[in-house]
Amino acid sequence: MGGLAAALACSRAGWQACVYEQAREFREVGAGIQLGPNATRILIDWGLEPSLSAIAARPQRLQVRSAYNGRELGRLDLGDRFAQRYGAPYLTVHRADLQGVLADGAHRAGVELQLGSRITVVSPGPDVVRMRVGDTHQAESDVLVGADGLWSEVRSQVCRDGPPHPTGHLAYRTLAVQADLPAALRSQDVTVWLGPRLHAVAYPVRAGEQLNVVAIVQGTAKGPAHDWDQAGAVGELLAAMGPLCQPLRDLVGAMPSWRLWALQDRPPMQSANEMASGRVALLGDAAHPMRPYLAQGAGMAIEDAAELGRALASATDPASDVAMALRGYALTRWQRCARVQARSQRNGRIFHATGLMRWGRDLSLRLLGERLLDQPWLYRR
């Protein structure tokens, strides 16, 4: 997704872009994504609003509830006033649907897409970046953008800083057709449930026809660290969640099946050097993996792509301007991304709080509500 967004932005900036995608076909994988106005504003600017509107849900509110007793702790209006305040709406989408919108936009912009193409060797040089694709195919380019996710092959060869680290948190995700759920469990809003050492999020996708649910608990996965699509058992999830209010227990039990992955991340970035070096740049999770506690993983990748396009638009001479343009991209982006990484980690501690911290969190939400839940520093970008 980050690669498609980057290719589209670079094509709009006048570059010929090619996406090397290791999957042999685009499949319907993953689940839901929340897109704040900082991200939807960019997608609209790229001319994708009609396609986005056809596949997105537009929740009217965010409500935060206690996972233990079900009481509402706070809420944030996400409707028309929110969209007017930030100049773009808050949308929720299925990952595959957003991928399709970006792929269609990239195709119309002239982007070349090569499926089943995994970059295995990267050789940056002063004048060109050479790559080996698969076992034998050789390719070269003026710029290489590593948008290959948390376990980035490009990062491993350029930064050589080792693999990401386990967070001790497990994410269970599921999707259900809303019409198949009991009426009391259907929703067109974003609902966040907070409890000791856990939280859950539910929101609509696919124009509201399906409900996406993610539950995050503390623990260790049994499978390989890089496997983000393990089978999850509802019994194990409920045992890990502990005492729950009946509505949340009913929601978890009503979902048809669960998938599981162990969350991994890296420390917040410390410098621009972690985003660009010479003719190679990193983007999205390859540069700054995000814990999902601020719902900005996709948003930061889309912001990265837009800034990359702006930076490369100024590189009128690929022979001499590229490294400077990528350096400018990294200098513009790294501090904001590091702040979002740090805030996401902080939110995780608050969401899963116990004892006095949990009591203070709940009281603050009841007293301040929207003032705590709104994020002007993030959305006004």
Identify the CATH number of the domain defined by range 2-61+78-164+267-351.
Answer: 3.50.50.60
From the list 203, 293, 329, 379, the catalytic residue is 203
Residue 360 tokens, joined: 């203070």
Q: State residue 212's pLDDT score.
A: 97
Q: State residue 226's pLDDT score.
A: 63
The Cβ of residue 329 has, within 10 Å, a number of other Cβ atoms equal to 23
- The answer to whether 297 touches 2, Cβ cutoff 8 Å, is no
How far, in Å, CA of 91 to CA of 106, rounded? 21
Q: Tell which residue, 85, 55, 101, has the closest CA to residue 209.
A: 55
Domain range annotation of the chain: 2-61+78-164+267-351
How far, in Å, CA of 79 to CA of 44, rounded? 17
Sign of CA dihedral 203, 336, 160, 168: negative
Low-confidence ranges of the chain (pLDDT < 70): 27-30, 222-230
203 is catalytic: yes
How far, in Å, CA of 52 to CA of 298, rounded? 14
* Residue 133, strand partner residues: 119, 137
DSSP string, 286-330: GT----TTSS-HHHHHHHHHHHHHHHHHT---TTTSHHHHHHHHH
Length of the chain: 381
